[in-house]
Copies of this chain bind each other. A is one copy, B any other.
Amino acid sequence: MGIQAMKVHQLPRGLIWDHDPPSLSLGCKRFRSLAPKLSNAAADTLSSTTAAASSFDLKSFIKPNQCSPRNVEVHKKESSQVEAAQPGGTRWNPTQEQIGILEMLYRSAMRTPNAQQIEQITAQLGKYGKIEGKNVFYWFQNHKARERQKQKRTSLGLSPSTRTPPPPPASSLFLSSPNKEEENNRYKRKCVFDEEIFSFSSSILTFKLNKKNGPRFTKTIFSLLFGLKW
């Protein structure tokens, strides 16, 4: 079994935003001219690292802690509504045409469009309303995730006996996806992994070991076993 897993890895994926990760700091002003005390220590470090780097203008990058998006417990908004790039609408509000096209693509098996595809889709959807590449990116991510979510919840509700949703052994190899998405093969679900490990069933561990490095791990474990001194 181990060998079947020898899947060669996949192709690289693109981040869709060229130079524009989805605005990572929502309600954060830029503070470009701010020079926190921290910059001193940092500057020292820099000089100690390399002289050349000393030309780096640290101050222009320093950002106060408060800007850390998720950690801010307070004022998220009053820090001025930022650049307010969008006059009014803060987030993308897809039109029916756009949704139609996206769903069509989704049904057509598209799940994780690459950079170029996103570009093209965005261009097309742009005909029906304002849109950015990241909107397309997020749409697919969310759509995928929520489909999985729903599926999980459904299966859970339908089979209450699923105490241990058997990550079916070898047999599943031939039974998989008569009707479902092929994405099952991707990751070993975390929860499943945990469960099995915790229950000491060993099957997962064995599987994993076989899958990843086969004999080598087996050897290691055995030597460990025999060399244990507890």
Interface residues of A (CB under 8 A from B): 2-3, 5-21, 23-26, 28, 30, 36, 38-39, 41-43, 45-46, 48-50, 52-53, 55-58, 60-65, 68-75, 96-97, 99-101, 103-105, 107-121, 124, 127-128, 133-134, 137, 163, 176-187, 190, 193-195, 197-203, 205-206, 209-210, 213-214, 216-218, 220-221, 223-225, 227-230
Contacts and interface: CB of A to CB of B under 8 A. Distances in A.
Contacts of A193: 194, 197-198
Instruction: Give this chain's copy count.
Output: 2
Contacts of A134: 15
Contact of A68 (B39, B50, B111, B200): B111
Given A61-B108, A99-B49, A128-B52, A115 B14 contact: no
Query: What are the 8 tightest A-B residue pairs by CB atom distance, in nearest-first order?
Result: A49-B100, A10-B69, A42-B104, A202-B227, A184-B198, A25-B114, A178-B199, A42-B108
A196 to B, nearest CB: 9
20 contacts: A3-B214, A10-B71, A14-B16, A15-B134, A21-B114, A25-B114, A38-B108, A45-B103, A49-B96, A58-B108, A62-B110, A64-B109, A68-B112, A178-B199, A183-B198, A194-B197, A200-B224, A203-B227, A205-B228, A210-B230
